[in-house]
Chain A
Amino acid sequence: MLNSLKTVFGLMTLIAGMVISIPLFAHGVDDATKTFLAGNEGVSIIPFLYIGAKHMVTGYDHLLFLVGVIFFLYRSKDVLIYVSFFTLGHSLTLLFGVLNDTHVNAYLIDAIIGLSIVYKGFDNLGGFKRVFGFQPNTKAAVLIFGLFHGFGLATKLQEFKLSSDGLVENILAFNVGVEIGQFVALLFILLAINYWRRFDSFLRFSTMTNTLLMSGGLMLVGYQMTGYFVG
C-alpha cells in the first residue's frame, strides 16, 4: 500500500512537472505571430490555418481535455463522434465570438476550461455514478465544454485587433487549422493510449491517470483564477 502510494506520488510529480514546464506557451501566441496578426490585412488562408493548428498542438489545456475524453473510448467510431461534438461546440462559439465581437474575460474562460478537465477526470473515475447515482450525458458534456473552449479561442483571437478585411475567411481558416491541429494531437494521444491499453497497467493506472488529470485541471483553475484577481 505504502509502496504503491509512493509510486503514485512519484509519477504524479513527474507528470505534473511535464505539464507545468510548458505553461509559458499556455494559450499565448508568440510575439512573431502577434506581429503578423496585428498587421495582417485581407485574406491569408494558409497563415491562419497554421496559427490555428499550432495553437491546438501547443495548447495543453485542450490536449488534457481530449485525453480525458478519449480515455475510455475503445472504438474509433466513438472517438470520432465525441471529437465531432467537441469540434461542433468550439467552432460555433469561435465564429460567433469573433464575428459578434463578444468579449469574455480570458482568465474566467480558461478557468472553466480547467474545470472541464477536472470534470472529465472525475467522470472517468465514475465519480458521478458513485456520488450522485447517475451518469450525466457524456456527449452533452463534451459539447458544452466545447462551447467554452471555443469562447477561449475567440477571446485569444480578439486580443489582436484583426482587420475586418477578409475576417470571415481568416477565422474559418483558423478554425480549420484548429481541427487539423486537434487531429494531429489526437493521433499521438490515441496511439499512446491504444498502445498502453494492451497492458494490464492501463487499468491499474487509470485511476492514477485520471487523478492526475483532475489535478492538472485544478492547477489550471488556480493559475487562471489567481490571474483573474491579480492581473
Chain B
Amino acid sequence: MIGVKFKTEHAPALLNRLNKIRYAVLGREADKGLLFKLFIYLILLDTAYIYLKPILHMLTTMVKNADDLLDPSVKWFPRVIYLGNLQEAWAWLKYPKAFGISLTLSLSVALLQTFSCAVTGFAFARLKVPFKGLLFSFLLLTFIVPVQVTILPNLIYARELGLLNTIYPIIVPAFFGLGLKGALFVIIYRQFFSTQPKELEEAARIDGAGVFKIFIKVMLPLAKPAILVVFLFSFIWTWNDFYLPSMYMTDIETQPLSKGISRIATALRQQAEQYGPSVTDEAIRMATTFLMIVPPMILYSFTQRWFVEGVERTGLVE
C-alpha cells in the first residue's frame, strides 16, 4: 500500500474494493478464491475420473454376457446383468480355498509386522541401542535393496528346510520386523514414537515401570494411528503381492488369490493363442480381478476414515 498516500482520498477505498475482488477471485492463499476453486475441482474431477474409470469398467464388463460384450452400442450399461463370468472366475480361482490362503497369509503377516515393527521402531526412537547409527543405516539398506536381490538365497533356505509351497517363508521374516516393506513400517513407528513427549516415559519410570511395561502399557496404546496405518498397509500389500507367492509357492494347489489371477491371465492368453480370442476373456479377467480386490476394498471402506486421520497424525514421515 505504499502508493496510497500519493493518491486522492478516494483512492484507499477503491484500492480496498479492488483488493477484495482480487481476494475473492484469486484468494489470499493458493487454496482460496473462486478461480482456484474452479481449478481445483477441475483437477479433482479429472483425476477422480482417471482413478474410477478402470474400476467402473471392471464392474460393468464382468456382468456383461457375450451379446452385450459384442454389441458396440453397449458401453457402460449391460442390457442384462449376467453373473456367469463371476461364477466361472469363482471356479477358476478355487475361490473359497484361495481366499482362505490369502487371508491367512495376509492376516499373519500384518499382525506380526504390526507388532514386530513397533518393537523395532520403539527401540530406534526411544531406547539407547548400541551402534544405533550403524543399525539405522542397515535399516535403510533393507529399504532400498530389491526383494529380488535376496530372493535366491532365501529360496535355498526354504528348500533346505522343506518349507517350499507353504506360507511360512513369507511369514517368518515378518516376525522379525522384516518382510514386505518392513523397513518402511519401522520408519513409520520410529517417527511416531519419537514425537511422543519424553515426560510420559519419565513419569512411568518414576512409577516403577520397566521398559517392557512402558512399551506395552504407555506407548502402544498411544500408537493407535500408526498401528492402524501399518496394519492396513501390511495387509493390503501382502494380499496384493504375487511376487513372493510366485517364488515360494509354485505348487498349483496352494496358491493365494494374487497368484491365481496371473495364472488365469496366462491360461486365457494360451487359450487365445490356440483357439483365437474369445469374447468373454476380458469379462472373466475383470471378474477375477473383482473377486480379488473386494476383500481389501471392504476392509478399506470400514477403516478409511481412521486410516486417513492416522496417516495425517503419524505424519508417515522421515
Report whether chain A binds chain B.
no
Q: Which positions in B face A, CB cutoff 8 Å?
A: none
